[in-house]
Amino acid sequence: MASETTKSHPYHMVAPSPWPAIGSLAALVMAFGGVWYMQEGPIWLFVQGVLILLWVFYRWWRDVVIEARSGVDHTDTVRHGLRMGMVLFITSEVMFFFVFFWAYFNATVPFLSGVAHDVWPPEGVVPLDPWSVPFLNTVILLSSGATVTYAHHMVRLGDNKRAARWILLTVLLGLIFTGFQAYEYVHATFPFTGGIYSSTFYLATGFHGFHVIIGTIFLIVCWFRARAGHFTPEVHVGFEAAAWYWHFVDVVWLFLFASIYWWGSLSYFTPA
Amino acid sequence: MMADQETAVAGGHDGGHDGGHGHHPTGWRRWLFSTNHKDIGTMYIVLSLVAALVGGAMSFWIRLELLDPGIQFNVFGAGEEAAYFQFYNVLVTGHAFIMVFFVVMPALIGGFGNWFVPLMIGAPDMAFPRMNNVSFWLLAAALVLLLVAAFTQGGPGTGWTIYPPLSNADFHPGAAVDLGILSLHLAGASSVLGAINLITTIFNMRAPGMTIHRMPLFCWSILVTAFLLLMAIPVLAGGLTMLLTDRNFGTAFFDAARGGDPVLWQHIFWFFGHPEVYIIIIPAFGIVSQVVSTFSRKPIFGYLGMVYAMVFIGFVGFVVWAHHMYTAGLDVDTRAYFISASLVIAVPTGIKIFSWLATMWGGSIDFRVPMMFACGFIFLFVMGGVTGVALANAGMDIAFHDTYFVVAHFHYVMAIAAVFGMFTGFYYWIGKMCGRQYPRVLARIHFWSFFIGVNVVFFPQHFSGMAGMPRRIPDYPDNYWGWNYVSSIGAFITTASTLLFFFIVWRTLTAGEKVPANQWGEGATTLEWTVESPAPFHTFEELPDMTDKQADE
């Protein structure tokens, strides 16, 4: 059969893989461990699940990188599909953040809800000053958007070495951002369990922060890959996906800054 | 272009390392580690059949309990009525979750979608075969979590809508609801990954010449469904996360006492929930379109109208959610908007119904079993659609809300209709999937007994509902007894018919007669009928060229 040795189509027929099944098992362990922990049990089972899952991620995506490097599997068509998949994934993430903004506006805009607050922030809540650390973080994150774009230009010029340097700079900006967010959380006067203001603030910014950390890890992987010379001017889907993801968390932050940090504290900092 | 040529050349001498080509995995590895769309589709269908037994048993228990007024089966003993009422609610909840997430979706989207989207567009597999497998196994993990939840600390008795405050830590302390939430998280992750996979496959892997407007309607239905999944499931995930942190970590999203809003949950849930019911029914539209066309031996009437009716239904499905919330205290303007928007959906659904009828009109109709189920689908869907138009009106819905009229409506329009879609697909494609034909006489008995059974179950519920019979309660006043009794008789017929179906599956697999590549003759024009039956492990390694073919020819 001719198809034993050649393929006449541009698609990637992936070999069987243990990672999906093991990853699902890890998710099941995480779920049981998480419930056990929430029911006042120990946390080790949850951590166990997380560790297996991280190992699966490492092995699975290591396989993807090997396939990409083979020069056979990732044809133009396959790479087009991979980029499409990333765009669709980011679309689903947009809808995930949409809910947390909905919860926030539901609490603040009377048009949307019968129980929206007349006074926001609610009495007793001292919000963070948007033009202090949050604005600094805005500048940091926007700058990181610029540096990752510059890294993209370097990749397109075929200069992996300089690309790596600019990716590293992006990673550092991401880490500084995360550090400042942690600092803000530690010093915020409103506790996590302090009611609807805290709920919307911490879950919206918290999930954003979590996504920044994921994006940072994604970029760190790209840094290693750039140093190893993996990217060519034509073929660098992994880096493109990381950069798109980074821009996505960047845009989410702009909405967070404008609506929760700035608009949400207007009445507190500029009393009528 | 350069890269393309390079890889084509490189592929010439290095295809051998590709497990997908040389060797077929065997034994348990073939299934557990699968990257084959047909095997994964088969696993989805098996999971659906297993879950259907559990979900079906739950509904049978519900109907047995409601056969007479009073409490029939208090398994917890005298003096433990509250525990049994909770158990009854867990049955209702479990029935809904299992049927929606673990029976209909896996069968129509995971099962038939996986099997036939690549075959119909002439692609050798799905775009992301490994991710395809994780979609399946995450769903298996989710089913384990849900079943464990049902047996944990009284189980989740919240209904599938999980409304707080009933679902919060005051009224559902313990782990059951948390396990249910995490089950839905995993099922949701499975669905989102599956949706990404199906969309990418359809956009990126159609055979040469198969333009998007030549694509079979089943593929269109899956495409629309996948977009609904992609946009709706993350909204549920966000809401579930808020519920989880409200229950366990002290947030106040749905806690009115601390500035939160329980109605927000209803908004979030139904922003997901309404597209979700279209996720269930739209793939059935696709299957019915293929079958009606095949057995009328005509191309589908108004192909483009059918396509964009589905697209429009999908789009409008996102902006009608609050018609599930007319009694939640929304102001009158809001309700007026949601009434008009909901009624608009009758237009594209009308386009679909009349296009199916127009396809049959003047056709050479062959009433094989799939065609019988397709006609049954159209009847049931129209029945449920008519009561849907009634319920879309807030003024009427305030009277009907939480009565069996609503139960009758949604079981006709999306539950039973979707199950008829599944049976349509099963009888249409089982020959392609296993290479053997179903036993014809038994299949006809299955159709008639099932059709009569479900109508005897659900038609009387219109009457008991209009009389005021409430949902989600195991006991009721004596004056509702008559129609409840009739409805429960229907449950016996339906259950017997379902057992017959499982017998038919067994007979087909073990003793069915062998079928040729195209068992349906000239009416079956889509690409899956060009490959042998059963479809070999790998198909379309040489891509079919559709350049000169007409749409639907």
CATH number at residue A177: 1.20.120.80
Contacts 24+ apart (CB under 8 A), A33-42: A34/B178, A34/B182, A35/B175, A35/B178, A35/B179, A35/B182, A38/B175, A38/B178, A38/B247, A38/B248, A39/B174, A39/B175, A39/B178
CA distance A234 to chain B (A): 8
pLDDT of residue B23: 58
ipTM comes to: 0.95
- Give the end of a domain, one of A73, A93, A115: A73
The answer on A115 and A49 residing in a single domain is: no
A146 contacts chain B (CB < 8 A): no
User: HEC states along B81-130?
Assistant: HHHHHHHHHHHHHHHHHHHHHHHHHHHHHHHHHHHHHHHHHCCCCCCCHH
B436, β-bridge pairs: B514
For residues A97 and A181, state if they share a domain: yes
CA-based nearest residue in chain B for residue A71: B7
Among A3, A11, A106, select the one facing B261 at the smallest CB separation: A106
B30, B256, B540 ranked by CB distance to A115: nearest: B256
Interface size, chain A vs chain B, as Cβ–Cβ contacts under 8 Å: 270
Chain B residues whose CB is inside 8 A of the A76 CB are 1, 3-4, 7
Closest partner residue to A102 among B124, B263, B268, by Cβ? B268
Query: Which residues of B are annotated as catalytic?
Result: 95, 125, 160, 190-191, 274, 276, 278, 289, 323-324, 349, 352, 471
A10 found inside a domain? no
Q: Do A146 and A255 fall within a single domain?
A: yes
What does the block give as tokens for B479? 């004056």
Asked if residue A4 belongs to a domain, the reply is no
More confident residue, A266 or B16: A266
Give yes or no: residues A104 and A119 share one domain: yes
pLDDT digits (tens, 9 = 90+) for A58-93: 999 999 999 999 988 999 999 999 999 999 999 999
CA of B204 to nearest chain A CA: how many angstroms apart?
6
pTM: 0.94
pLDDT of residue A7: 79
Answer yes or no: do A60 and A86 share one domain. Answer: no
Say yes or no: A37 and A87 in one domain.
Answer: no
Of B140, B258, B267, the CB nearest to A196: B258
Of the three residues A73, A91, A116, the one that is the final residue of a domain is A73
A5 Cβ under 8 Å from any chain B Cβ: yes
Q: Does B27 touch chain A (CB under 8 A)?
A: no
Instruction: Identify the CA nearest to B97 among candidates B195, B190, B187, B192.
Output: B187
Q: What CATH number is attached to the domain comprising A65?
A: 1.10.287.70
Q: Which of A55, A73, A91 is the last residue of a domain?
A: A73
pLDDT in tens, chain B (553 residues): 333 333 333 333 333 344 444 457 889 999 999 999 999 999 999 999 999 999 999 999 999 999 999 999 999 988 889 999 999 999 999 999 999 999 999 999 999 999 999 999 999 999 999 999 999 999 999 999 999 999 999 999 999 999 999 999 999 999 999 999 999 999 999 999 999 999 999 999 999 999 999 999 999 999 999 999 999 999 999 999 999 999 999 999 999 999 999 999 999 999 999 999 999 999 999 999 999 999 999 999 999 999 999 999 999 999 999 999 999 999 999 999 999 999 999 999 999 999 999 999 999 999 999 999 999 999 999 999 999 999 999 999 999 999 999 999 999 999 999 999 999 999 999 999 999 999 999 999 999 999 999 999 999 999 999 999 999 999 999 999 999 999 999 999 999 999 999 999 999 999 999 999 999 999 999 999 999 999 999 999 899 998 876 544 4
Task: Kindly state whether residues A61 and A165 are assigned to the same domain.
Answer: no
pLDDT score of B25: 81
In the structure encoding, which two tokens stand for residue B126, read together?
């799905």
Verify whether the Cβ–Cβ distance B204 to A84 is below 8 Å: yes
pLDDT digits (tens, 9 = 90+) for A139-165: 999 999 999 999 999 999 999 999 999
Residues A163 and A49 reside in one and the same domain: no
Q: Decide if A13 touches B, using CB distance below 8 A.
A: yes
Tell whether A6 is covered by a domain: no
Cα three-residue angle B112-A89-A20, rounded to 5 degrees? 60
Q: Is the pLDDT of residue A170 over 60?
A: yes
- Does residue A39 share a domain with residue A102? no
The CA R_g of chain B, rounded to the nearest whole Å, is: 24
Residue A157 and residue A31 share a domain? no
In terms of C-beta density within 10 A (0-12 exposed, 13-18 middle, 19 or more buried), how is residue B250 classed? middle
Do both A156 and A259 map to the same domain? yes
Decide if A116 is inside a domain: yes
Q: Is residue A11 part of a domain?
A: no
In-domain check, residue A231: yes
Q: Cβ–Cβ contacts within 10 Å for residue B253, how many? A: 27
Domain ranges, residue A53: 19-73
Collect all residues of chain B within an 8 Å Cβ-Cβ radius of residue A98. Answer: 234-235, 238
Whether residue A13 is contained in a domain is answered as no
Q: Which helix (H) or strand (E) holds B407?
A: helix B404-410
Test A196 with B253 for CB contact under 8 angstroms: yes
Indicate the number of domains in chain A: 2
- Whether residues A58 and A96 share a domain: the answer is no
